[in-house]
Chain A
Amino acid sequence: DVKVTQSSRYLVKRTGEKVFLECVQDMDHENMFWYRQDPGLGLRLIYFSYDVKMKEKGDIPEGYSVSREKKERFSLILESASTNQTSMYLCASSLLGGPNTGELFFGEGSRLTVL
């Protein structure tokens, strides 16, 4: 069964802290994505990756960075957390042609609160 695992379901951090969100998929998917989801807005793409050590900016990359050292793992980093980064963060993966088929597999999400 397809599995995308996000390391933390709930986090509370203080302004200025560095935050790591980890995502691991066990499906050997090439593509991995980080989105954030806020009430009243659609999912917004932060960063994505088509291959190991490769990353591309999405629509809202400011304040974030990513790392993909291994195919199965895609990490999202908030270098200095701010209150406007309080959100639900969703990691997803797909096969190489996957986004063309619209089928993304999501993790359960990490709800981050920045105080």
Chain B
Amino acid sequence: RKEVEQDPGPFNVPEGATVAFNCTYSNSASQSFFWYRQDCRKEPKLLMSVYSSGNEDGRFTAQLNRASQYISLLIRDSKLSDSATYLCVVLDRLVMDSNYQLIWGAGTKLIIKP
């Protein structure tokens, strides 16, 4: 079982619509959570962190559900420029170790259509 799972999509969404997708993680002790955005043939870039209380940045809202072990990303009033792959990232503290590691999902592809 993959440690971080995402629906690969693509999600085809009309411009102006609201779209949401989830990411599930397997380690209940995971510490921190993030969403990255990756445009086609470009590098990933941090979109937002996901806080326990949920957080909002403009049209983007991220939520964490620890009980069910998933995080979500909601995009309101979608724009053509939102078309990208959204990567879910989980930070795990390694057992018996002071190190940490970032576990990456494979991404959800979003296509916004005019």
Contact = CB atoms under 8 A, between A and B. Distances in A.
B32 A42 contact: no
Size range of the chain A interface in the assembly: 10 to 19
Given A45-B101, A100-B32, A101-B49, A106 B91 contact: no
A56 B98 CA distance: 13
Contact of B34 (A41, A90, A102, A106): A102
Contacts of B1: none
A104 interface: yes
A100 B43 contact: no
Contacts of A109: 41-43
B46 A42 contact: no
Given A103-B46, A108-B42, A42 B105 contact: yes
Contacts of B87: 42-43
Contacts of A40: 8, 106
Interface in A39-53: 40-45
Interface residues of B, number: 25
Contacts, number: 50
A42 B4 contact: yes
B106 A102 contact: no
Contact of B106 (A41, A99, A106): A41
A31 B99 CA distance: 13
B44 interface: yes
Interface string A16-47: 00000000000000000000000011111100
Contacts of B104: 42-44
Interface of B: 2, 4, 8, 32-34, 41-46, 49, 87, 89, 91, 99-107
11 contacts: A40-B8, A42-B103, A43-B87, A43-B104, A90-B44, A102-B32, A102-B46, A102-B91, A106-B44, A107-B43, A108-B43
